[in-house]
A and B are shown apart, each in its own frame.
With several copies, the nearest count.
Chain A
Amino acid sequence: MPTLNIIQAVNDALRQEMRRDPTVVILGEDVGKFGGVFRASQGLQEEFGKDRVIDTPLAESGVIGTAVGMALYGLRPVPEIQFADFIFPAMDQIVSEVAKFRYRSGGQYTCPMVIRTPYGGGIRGGHYHSQSPEAHFIHTAGLKVVVPSNPHDAKGLLTSAIRDPDPVLFFEPKRMYRAARGEVPDGEVVVPIGKARVTREGRHVTLIAWGAMWHEADQAAREAADLGIECEVLDLRTLQPLDIDAIVESVQKTGRAVVVHEAPRTCGFGAEISALIQERCFLHLEAPVARVTGFDTPFPYTLESEYLPRAPRILKAVREVMAF
């Protein structure tokens, strides 16, 4: 089995789905001849031509707006937003149009598409190349939200997302693009949307993370083990729909939970997970659900190591939850 990084896995999924389904098209800024600034679509314009791998003018609202029209007409567009930070010019098309087309037309029109975008910090990008805006889209009914943490899931989830009948926001952890490497089967890989993965079993605390933060949570769990604390680690993989059963099952066992995300704490997805856990596991909880998150500031440049929730801060939360 070949060893790929996340960018290669994304590229692989795109290529396979484009071969399988002639309606799949890619569009976005720099995605064509250049193959994308992170090279996710490298080589695809050569293979599939300029009609299916399209360099667009510089306007995210146009990228998504035209993708809506393509999807309505029966294509399966996979627009790229160059950095998740630049999704806001397309917010109206996503929130008002993509998310509501099926609903508002009583099911007469649908616009399935996969909006791929690199997100997250740790690449010295400052606040316009590091944000994690997933909460905005989880809060918008009509959208699904997927975040892989490793090459295998990147390929498998992207494949599922492209085949999904609903629009999907696909956030790729850019810090792990080349850092996360792993074996990925050559042929079709399908990882179902809506299923979390228990990556480590444990009976003391449940660590809940996704994307790049899963790697930090995993590291914290290893260090906790040295202290005799057994963490169960969940890689959510899909944020909407959330795998609530996996969370409840784990927390009912451990009685403790720590949620980790990069986005600012207030109104981040950690709040929703915390609320859901206390609604469903109230009598099992030994300690409050803890949140280890980005701070309530824009993403900083120089002090990004301090800003990002990393293993030491997660470990600290684990110990505090255990000591509660």
Chain B
Amino acid sequence: MTDPVNVPGRWEREFPLQTVIEEDGSADPARVTLTDAKALDLFRWMILSREMDERMVQLQRQGRIAFYIGAIGEEATVLGTVAGMEERDWLFPSYREHAGALYRGMPFVTFVCDLLGNAGDRMLGHQMPCHEAWAPGRFVSISAPIATQVPQAVGAAWAARIRGDDMVSLTWFGEGATSANDFHTGANFAGVHKVPVIMVCRNNGWAISVPRELQTASETIAQKAVAYGIHGERVDGNDLLAVHAATQRARVRAASGLGPTLLECVTYRVEGHSTSDDPRAYRGAEEVDAWRDRDPILRLGRYLTWRKLLPPDEVEALRAEARERIRRAVEDAETFAPKPSIQTLFQGVYAEPLWQQREQLDELRAAVAEDPRTSHPR
């Protein structure tokens, strides 16, 4: 078997799509990096992620949450990468990696409180739904501006190396984000300083309504690594085993001082961009249907079946279990008061509120006291 870590300084000139799970569910054992137990565990996580996304979209349609953005069809990319890292590694998410936050220990109810922006929200109602942060799990705060997390992930990994810590950071972003300024500077800085960072592009084919071909003329996303003198790889993002193996490889490279990896995971955004979007306005059903057949959960299911780890009715049981967990989380989350207290408006802007913020809080309190409409929704 060849050394999975590439020769330093050499840049790849071909970026073949790497897969591990074959059509029939079989896999070459030499290329499998997950134990059976771990593979089954991640299967469970993928199902939870899927069920959660479907349920939250329902809640949004019912008006119980205002917005949702999920990862339907991209579960293998999210969970394969997070599972390929060490617990101590920092994760810099975009906005579809909620399963990563939960995997890293964010309580489910806390996640739902964030969606509700209620009194239980760890973000104090400051952020839109789906922009969670979970520091105990080194899951960094989600931003909306595209790609800003990329140089940040580079900076954190660089800091770890300066301090002598064995920490590799990982950041996720879409293929649309590769057009943004911050992808460029992040990748370039990482290359020059051989920073131990893994840059994971969830290439899901679409950036809202803009298809991959209108985003960049490069044949692959992975080949963008060439511009930065860094390592690039391209894997089937719906193949959990391929994603996991590539992530582990990239982590070894990074931790060994061989520098960053740009990891393109080829997947597909099966649903609309978010609950605010209607993709029928810009793409046809055939394209979507073709991808439904390549579902990452079915794919891992076939592997587990091939490994004889998945009895026929097990999937339904796992689904039911996930739904129950979700039901309880929503129920618990809805017990919190719908709004955090009024002073949270001024909390966390600075370490200590400024004088004008204290005045403004008083002003607001007086206004609410005088006319309760001040705090009523429109």
User: Do A and B share a direct contact in the complex (Cβ within 8 angstroms)?
Assistant: yes
One digit per residue, 1 when the CB lies within 8 angstroms of any chain A CB and 0 when it does not, for chain B 159-179 equals 110110000010000001101
Distance between Cα atoms of A30 and B281 in the complex (Å): 11
Select A57's contact among B155, B157, B210, B351, beta carbons within 8 Å. B210
Stretch from A10-18, A63-71, A253-261 that touches the partner? A63-71
Which residues of chain A are within 8 angstroms of B153 by Cβ–Cβ distance?
69
Which residues of chain A are within 8 angstroms of B188 by Cβ–Cβ distance?
57, 59, 62
> In the complex, are the beta carbons of A106 and B133 less than 8 A apart?
yes
> In the complex, are the beta carbons of A300 and B209 less than 8 A apart?
no
Distance between Cα atoms of A55 and B216 in the complex (Å): 12
Knowing A59-B185, A69-B156 touch, does A97 contact B148 (C-beta < 8 A)? yes
Which residues of chain A are within 8 angstroms of B216 by Cβ–Cβ distance?
57
Which residues of chain A are within 8 angstroms of B192 by Cβ–Cβ distance?
57
- Residue from A71, A89, A96 having most chain B Cβ neighbours under 10 A: A89
Q: Least Cβ distance of B90 to chain A in Å?
A: 7
Select A306's contact among B135, B141, B375, beta carbons within 8 Å. B375
Select A34's contact among B125, B154, B181, B208, beta carbons within 8 Å. B208
Distance between Cα atoms of A55 and B177 in the complex (Å): 15
**Beta-carbon contacts under 8 Å, A73-115 to B:** 73-75, 77, 85-86, 88-89, 92-93, 96-97, 101-110
Which residues of chain B are within 8 angstroms of A315 by Cβ–Cβ distance?
371
Knowing A58-B179, A296-B357 touch, does A103 contact B148 (C-beta < 8 A)? no
Which residues of chain B are within 8 angstroms of A52 by Cβ–Cβ distance?
162
Stretch from A120-128, A195-203, A224-232 that touches the partner? A120-128
Stretch from B22-30, B32-40, B73-81, B114-122 that touches the partner? B114-122
Which residues of chain B are within 8 angstroms of A142 by Cβ–Cβ distance?
349-350
B207 within 8 Å of A (CB atoms): yes
> In the complex, are the beta carbons of A96 and B357 less than 8 A apart?
no
Which residues of chain B are within 8 angstroms of A105 by Cβ–Cβ distance?
123, 133, 135, 141, 348
Q: Least Cβ distance of A271 to chain B in Å?
A: 12
Knowing A96-B143, A124-B128 touch, does A68 contact B155 (C-beta < 8 A)? yes
> In the complex, are the beta carbons of A302 and B180 less than 8 A apart?
no
> In the complex, are the beta carbons of A305 and B378 less than 8 A apart?
yes
One digit per residue, 1 when the CB lies within 8 angstroms of any chain A CB and 0 when it does not, for chain B 123-141 equals 1111110010111000011
B370 within 8 Å of A (CB atoms): yes
Which residues of chain A are within 8 angstroms of B328 by Cβ–Cβ distance?
none
One digit per residue, 1 when the CB lies within 8 angstroms of any chain A CB and 0 when it does not, for chain B 59-77 equals 0000000110000000000
Select A68's contact among B152, B344, B348, beta carbons within 8 Å. B152
Number of interface residues of B (CB under 8 A): 92
> In the complex, are the beta carbons of A302 and B349 less than 8 A apart?
no
Select B214's contact among A57, A68, A74, beta carbons within 8 Å. A57
B93 within 8 Å of A (CB atoms): no
**Beta-carbon contacts under 8 Å, B333-378 to A:** 338-340, 342, 344-351, 354-357, 360, 364, 366-368, 370-371, 373-378
A56 within 8 Å of B (CB atoms): yes
Instruction: Write the residues of chain B forming the contact surface with A, with a CB cutoff of 8 angstroms.
Output: 66-67, 90, 92, 117-118, 121-128, 131, 133-135, 140-141, 143-146, 148, 150-160, 162-163, 169, 176-177, 179-182, 184-186, 188-189, 192-193, 207-210, 214-216, 276-277, 281-282, 338-340, 342, 344-351, 354-357, 360, 364, 366-368, 370-371, 373-378
Instruction: Write the residues of chain A forming the contact surface with B, with a CB cutoff of 8 angstroms.
Output: 25, 29-30, 33-35, 37, 51-52, 54-59, 61-62, 64-75, 77, 85-86, 88-89, 92-93, 96-97, 101-110, 122, 124-129, 141-142, 144, 165-166, 240-241, 244, 265-266, 295-298, 300-303, 305-307, 310-313, 315-316
Q: Given contacts A92-B181, A96-B143, A312-B367, could you give 19 more A-B pairs where the C-beta distance is less than 8 Å?
A: A29-B208, A58-B215, A61-B151, A62-B151, A62-B182, A65-B150, A70-B159, A73-B160, A74-B159, A77-B155, A102-B348, A127-B127, A142-B350, A296-B357, A296-B360, A301-B117, A303-B342, A306-B342, A312-B374
